[in-house]
Structure 1
Amino acid sequence: MIFIENKRKKSEGLIRKYPEAIILDFTSSGGEEYKQFSPFYPHGDIPVPFTNGFFAKSVEGVWQGLKVFEDQDIDIAKFGIDDMKNIKRSVRKNGQVRGHRKGVYGSELLNYHDARKKIYLKTYAWVLDHKLQSLLVKLLQLALERDLVFLDYETNTDIENLKKPLSHAGLVKKYLEKKAPAIALKKTQPNLLF
């Protein structure tokens, strides 16, 4: 099985809770290999949704770049950030969020729910499909052998729960379980894998 846990938890507690599991840090401060799953990671050449000819370095760059505030419109400079720093845009500096622009030149503002599905999820899925396939295959092989624990700062895996930010590690879990549904059943029905 695959579990999502908060990175802030003490490692001793996680090891006690999951004694046989492999624990992997999917945050931007994780190890070189697995931090590639962070939305801040600069994969490059990521298409900006609803905008032909525009590309971003990271998923977070797309998300923050298309965000519209009371006092500031989109910021396409966020698309080009490749050091994982200074990507976020705050309400303290820019006023309340009005929505996300549907493309660089779009006139429509998407609400949080629609932006999550049409911008964030679409962009993150593109990265999984086009930039992380070899690493996903490795995770799939590991998950079929042992339990995995993915660490993330966010643990909300419910796409419809808008009260909390979405866990990108949870999206990776969903992706892998769709490829190999037996992963989710492994612990309760181990014979399905052999």
Structure 2
Amino acid sequence: MSKRRGSSPTALSLSSELSQTAKRIRQSELPPLPSSVGLVVVANRRTKSETLQRKYPGSAVIDVTAKGPMPWRKFSPFYPHGDIPVPTQPSQKGMSVEGIWQGLKCFEKEGVDVSKLTKTDMKDMKRGKSLRRGKVLGHAQRCTASTPSSSPSDHLLGYLQARKRIYLPAYLTLLERMKDEVQELKALREKSGLILLDYNTNEDIENCQKPLSHAGLIKLYIEDGYPKV
């Protein structure tokens, strides 16, 4: 009865060499990781960091919400920068962009709420439809509009019109005051790519079905594409 012979050292070495060669060939066929340098991406704040880094490797992640660290939280429309002109009534000022936006909102049973313009704690800023207020009718152009139809000059702006005539100009004022932080974001974009975290990710100004992402406005500003207001 013949004995089974084991593999010779030469055969084992050849097998190992072939295995390594095959591995190198497979690796060379893999597509390279995409470069994130130069990119600005808006992402939901709740997205896992592992997911973001897998999709945009090496990118700097900046939280620009009110929950973010300083100085980045100053990009939040809720942040009380102070002395922000109301775009449709520049003689009036608001502490924050969100305060102006929410304060000028008018409802079936409630007009302008000027108290929102002076808030500095970033809390209880939202004003939505309710049984007490009724439905949202639009945005007033003047802070003195105590009721939605107090005078012909105070006719209400529709949602898209208000977004363009109130929100965009007010947020532009904020961005123009944050030159140092904007320059730092631009540097991060060129160095590693940039991910801006926001609760809303709608970057389309014309899309009124979803709240507008202020991170999307930062992106436009960094890319020199901010709408003319």
TM-score with structure 1 length normalisation? 0.88
Per mean C-alpha deviation after superposition, the further-off stretch among 92-101 and 166-175 is: 92-101
2:84 is aligned with 1:38 = no
> How far apart are 1:94 and its partner, in Å?
1.6
CA distance in 2, matches of 1:52, 1:12: 45
CA distance in 1, matches of 2:186, 2:196: 13
Give 1:7's match in structure 2, choosing from 28, 45, 50: 45
CA distance in 2, matches of 1:49, 1:21: 35
Per mean C-alpha deviation after superposition, the further-off stretch among 60-69 and 2-11 is: 2-11
Give 1:104's match in structure 2, choosing from 130, 143, 149: 143
CA distance in 2, matches of 1:20, 1:107: 50
- Partner of 2:108 in structure 1? 70
What SS class does the counterpart of residue 54 from structure 1 fall into?
Answer: strand
- Partner of 1:123 in structure 2? 170
- 1:33-182 correspondence runs (5 A): 33-92=71-130, 93-105=132-144, 106-129=153-176, 131-178=177-224
For 1:103-154, what per-residue CA distance to the aligned partner results, in whole angstroms no more than 9, with x for missing partners? Answer: 224411000010000000010011111x211110111111111110000000
CA distance in 2, matches of 1:94, 1:32: 35
Gaps of 5+ in 1: 180-194
CA distance in 2, matches of 1:67, 1:54: 15
For 1:4-42, what per-residue CA distance to the aligned partner results, in whole angstroms no more than 9, with x for missing partners? Answer: 100111222222222210001011101121111110011
Q: Aligned AA for 1:126? A: T
Which structure has more relative contact order (CA 8 Å, sep 6+)? It is: 1
TM-score with structure 2 length normalisation? 0.75
CA distance in 2, matches of 1:52, 1:5: 33
Asked whether the equivalents of residues 88 and 165 of structure 2 are also in contact (C-alpha less than 8 Å), the reply is: no
Q: Aligned AA for 2:41? A: F
Q: Aligned AA for 1:136? A: V
Number of residue-to-residue matches in the alignment: 178
CA distance in 1, matches of 2:154, 2:224: 35
- What RMSD over aligned residues (CA atoms) do the two structures have, in Å? 1.2
CA distance in 2, matches of 1:42, 1:166: 19
| Ranges of 4+ aligned residues in structure 1 off by more than 4 Å | none
Gaps of 5+ in 2: 1-38, 145-152
What SS class does the counterpart of residue 201 from structure 2 fall into?
Answer: coil
For 1:141-184, what per-residue CA distance to the aligned partner results, in whole angstroms no more than 9, with x for missing partners? Answer: 111111100000000101011111100000000000117xxxxx
Q: Aligned AA for 2:105? A: K
> How far apart are 1:50 and its partner, in Å?
2.1
